[in-house]
């Protein structure tokens, strides 16, 4: 049974210039323990989709369930079973790592002792033990990202949503984060849904990819399936498959001229 299921999920924003259809109709089905990558060009609707699935943004159309809880009728239950790590992160730069993790535990209604114990567990699991008494502002990009993920894992969510989790990280930090995501799936059975613009990351990390363009799903499958279907060979590049699936020319010279 899918842990995430959506049908016709949509979000339209009202602006002075008229309606903006950020997400037109997204149908998703994610199984327990999957690592699913959402790919798409800028403005495709990936982040808006994640924000709807985590109850941060109300849909204007369609239905969805997360871990058996209806997004529209039971948003509190959805929030209880999912974690969300935004692109920009959420740590307070003036708090120490320990203070941030304990505060996060208290927000999830853990007792003081339990919140402190959970902070220690997360610090050990994510390599933050030596940083517990440092303020978030003093951490490196990779360290801050590990703290962001620790905060998202405080309540042991069944589903973890990561929005461009490795943007700006060095190759070593990216590799460490990939290992962490795999360990969450393999060790705790956590379902992970992530967005990324790095096709090598999507290829290496995701069990399945979902391509979104123009606010709707245009293709989905394993990386090998997409390479075969859209680029003609399982050994083709994922970039060629991505460009073909989204209707963009592989050779920039083939693109239509832009009027100026």
Q: pLDDT tens digits, residue range 128-144?
A: 999 999 999 999 888 88
What is the pLDDT, as a whole number, of residue 249? 61
Long-range contacts of 77-81 (CB under 8 A, 24+ apart): 78/53, 78/54, 79/54, 79/55, 80/155, 81/157, 81/158, 81/159
- The candidate with the shortest Cα–Cα distance to 149, out of 173, 130, 114, is 173
User: First-to-last CA distance in the chain?
Assistant: 51
pLDDT in tens, 168-209: 788 888 888 889 899 989 988 999 999 998 999 999 999 999
Model pTM score: 0.89
At residue 176, the pLDDT reads 83
Nearest to 192 by CA among 230, 227, 153, 218: 153
* pLDDT for residue 259 is more than 60: no
CB 66 within 8 A of CB 82: yes
pLDDT of 13 above 50: yes
Q: Residue 257 — very low, low, confident or very high, per pLDDT cuts 50/70/90?
A: very low
Is 89 in contact with 148 (CB distance < 8 Å)?
Answer: yes
Q: Which domains does the chain have, with CATH numbers?
A: 4-91+142-248 (3.40.50.300)
Query: DSSP label at 87?
Result: T
Measured distance CA(9)–CA(61) in Å, rounded = 6
Q: Which tokens is 134 given?
A: 């440092």
> What are the helix and strand counts (H, E) for the chain?
9, 10
- Indicate the average pLDDT of the chain: 90
For residue 215, what are its two tokens? 């606010």
Angle between helices 141-152 and 171-188 (to 10 degrees): 20
- Measured at the CA of 104, the angle between CA 100 and CA 105, to 5 degrees, comes to 120
């Amino acid at each position: 049974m899918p842990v995430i299921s959506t049908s016709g999920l949509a979000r339209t924003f009202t602006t002075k210039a008229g309606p903006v259809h950020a997400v037109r109709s997204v149908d998703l089905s994610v199984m327990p323990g999957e690592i699913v990558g959402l790919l798409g060009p800028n403005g495709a609707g990936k982040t808006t989709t994640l924000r709807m699935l985590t109850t941060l943004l109300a849909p204007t159309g369609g239905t969805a369930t997360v871990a058996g809880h209806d997004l529209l009728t039971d948003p509190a239950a959805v929030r209880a079973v999912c974690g969300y790590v935004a692109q920009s992160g959420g740590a307070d730069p003036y708090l120490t790592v320990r203070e941030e993790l304990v505060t996060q535990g208290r927000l999830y209604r853990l007792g003081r002792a339990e919140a402190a114990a959970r902070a220690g567990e997360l610090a050990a699991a994510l390599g933050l033990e030596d940083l517990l008494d440092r303020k978030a502002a003093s951490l490196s990009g990779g360290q801050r990202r590990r703290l962001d993920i620790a905060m998202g894992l405080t309540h042991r969510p069944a589903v973890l949503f990561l929005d461009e989790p490795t943007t700006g990280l060095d190759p070593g930090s990216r590799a460490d984060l990939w290992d962490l995501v795999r360990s969450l799936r393999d060790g705790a059975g956590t379902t992970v849904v992530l967005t990324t613009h790095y096709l090598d990351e999507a290829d290496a990390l995701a069990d399945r990819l979902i391509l979104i363009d123009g606010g709707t799903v245009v293709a989905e499958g394993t990386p090998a399936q997409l390479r075969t279907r859209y680029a003609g060979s399982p050994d083709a590049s994922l970039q060629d498959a991505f460009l073909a699936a989204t209707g963009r020319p592989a050779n920039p010279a083939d693109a239509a001229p832009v009027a100026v």
